[in-house]
Amino acid sequence: MLLLPLLQDATPDTFGYLLFGYAIFLGLPALYLISWFLRRRNLERDLETIETLAQEDADKAEKPVARAAAMPPADKSQRADKPSRS
């Protein structure tokens, strides 16, 4: 009769481990999706910034060309680096 109580031990309470396991298996994909969303948003912001900078560079590049076209051609008979002989 001494062995009978040893064989009838109660099942250990592992409900906490079950909840922890579900939290891990559901939490990791949730963290991945949040990370993906944040990286995607930052990538779109970076792309907008790059496009804005490229447009500003293109606008700056067009302005000197327009001014140069409006200027009269330079007189090549006198050069600033060589003194003229008189």
pLDDT digits (tens, 9 = 90+) for 37-52: 999 999 999 999 999 9
Q: Is 74 within a domain?
A: no
- Whether pTM exceeds 0.95: no
pLDDT in tens, 7-24: 667 788 999 999 999 999
Q: Give the pLDDT confidence of 66-85 residue by residue, as tens digits.
A: 555 566 666 666 655 666 56
pLDDT at 84: 59
> The tokens of 3 are what?
């062995």
* CA 59 vs CA 62, 66, 77: distances in Å: 5, 11, 34
Query: Are 78 and 84 spatial neighbours (Cβ–Cβ below 8 Å)?
Result: yes
Would 60 be classed as within a structural domain?
yes
How far the first Cα of the chain sits from its last, in Å, is 134
Total of domains in the chain? 1
Residue 71 lies in a domain: no
The boundaries of the domain holding residue 53 are 29-65
